[in-house]
Amino acid sequence: MAIITIIGIGQIGSALAFVAAENGNLVRLVGTPVDKEVVDACKRDGRHPKLDRPYPAGTQYYYCENWQEAVEGSSFVIGAISSFGVDWFLEEILKKLDPAMPVLSAAKGLADLGDGKLGSYPDYWVRALRKCGIRRNIYALGGPGTAMGIMHHDHTQVVICGKETKLLKMMKDALQTSWFHISLTKDAKGLETAVAIKNAYALGVSMALGYARKAHGDEEDHCNSQAAVFTQAVKEMIRVLDLQKAHFDSTLIGIGDLYVTATGARTRQLGLLLGEGKTCEEAQALLGGMTLESLVVIRRLANSITIRARKGQVNLEDFPLLQFVIGVLDSGKMEELPWNRFTFENI
């Protein structure tokens, strides 16, 4: 039995608590600075106040100021924080954590490394730590799987990426279950880019559905329009991933993640509201403060592509869906999608 400490008690951290406990591991859940009331509820009731089922028996709960106590004796630490907690995790955890302690990141997002370059959060952390004289490798988990699906044992295929084969296999052995299937890769840059940018493009697919429902009613699934935008999303994702020199398998995992995000995750809810004509601010208010990392990802991706286009590395005309979604976010006005820009003539 391993001891696994999960820092971050949101949806993905909670889902991974169920995964880790399934294998008989002792799970320690640590809240972030904004999770005090959540930790209070967990200590009192054994469940997250926003989840419909209790945590596995034996799960232990810690406030963020007690994270070092939680980490003691752990086999590895999982950082299950959102894009908005990246710098907190760097300053308050990674800079103070024993460099020998393995870290697995479950955060999905992209860091702006400057000059149009995009990096994963582990890459961002490793660079920052090196400036402080701290050397460590940080591993990452990504792939298609909603938190609720994971918690309810819906079969899921994810990937763990990183440098050292021994640690990759250790983490896989600790987390893999009969329904949580894990692949391994050393293509950290490609995998992390793939599972991040899918949030930006899932927003576009969902906006198309919201627009169609408003125009024609929601009695139909509007599969045609969703499929058309999905195809364009995949095309643009592949172009970005080629820039990042992603392995083929990493690209496929990103496409799978695009599918699950466009059909059943939080980004879908935001996209539907935007497609119906809500402004971004109105949509966020209706979603009650839900963490929406897609908004962070799409801004950084659009900025990167714009800079690369100025440098002649890409053609901005090859990213019409990305430009359209950014235009809606900036103007607050949903219009008909640029369908003619999605077509091609290979003749």
Which pLDDT tens digits describe the chain residue by residue (347 residues)?
799 999 999 889 999 999 999 989 999 999 999 999 999 999 999 999 888 889 999 999 999 999 999 999 999 999 999 888 999 999 999 999 999 999 999 998 888 888 888 889 999 999 999 999 999 999 999 999 888 899 999 999 999 999 999 999 999 999 999 999 999 999 999 999 999 999 999 999 999 999 999 888 876 778 899 999 999 999 999 999 999 999 999 999 999 999 999 988 788 999 999 999 999 888 888 887 666 778 889 999 999 999 999 999 999 999 999 999 999 999 988 989 999 999 999 99
- As given in the structure block, the two tokens for residue 220 are 């139909």
The reported pLDDT for the residue numbered 219 is 67
Find tokens 């329009």 and name the residue. 225
CB 225 within 8 A of CB 208: yes
Using DSSP, state whether 141 is helix, strand or coil: strand
Task: Work out the percent of the chain whose per-residue pLDDT is above 90.
Answer: 79
The reported pLDDT for the residue numbered 104 is 98
Distance CA(261)–CA(266), nearest Å, equals 7
Find tokens 């139909």 and name the residue. 220
CB 278 within 8 A of CB 286: yes
Distance CA(105)–CA(108), nearest Å, equals 8
CB 64 within 8 A of CB 88: no
Cβ neighbourhood burial of 249 (10 Å; 0-12, 13-18, 19+): middle
The reported pLDDT for the residue numbered 290 is 66
Distance CA(110)–CA(192), nearest Å, equals 8
Provide the CATH topology of domain 193-342. N-(1-d-carboxylethyl)-l-norvaline Dehydrogenase; domain 2 (1.10.1040)
Chain-centre distance for alpha carbon 212: 27
Q: Are strands 26-30 and 117-120 parallel, antiparallel or unpaired?
A: unpaired
The reported pLDDT for the residue numbered 326 is 95
Chain-centre distance for alpha carbon 221: 26
Q: Are strands 138-142 and 156-161 parallel, antiparallel or unpaired?
A: antiparallel
Write down the domain spans for the chain. 3-186, 193-342
Q: Are strands 60-62 and 76-79 parallel, antiparallel or unpaired?
A: unpaired
**CATH no. for 3-186:** 3.40.50.720
Q: Assign residue 153 a region: left if phi > 0, alpha if psi is -120 to 50, beta otherwise?
A: left
Q: For the segment 177-221, what is each residue's pLDDT rounded down to a tens digit?
A: 999 999 999 999 999 999 999 999 999 999 999 999 988 887 677
Distance CA(12)–CA(106), nearest Å, equals 7
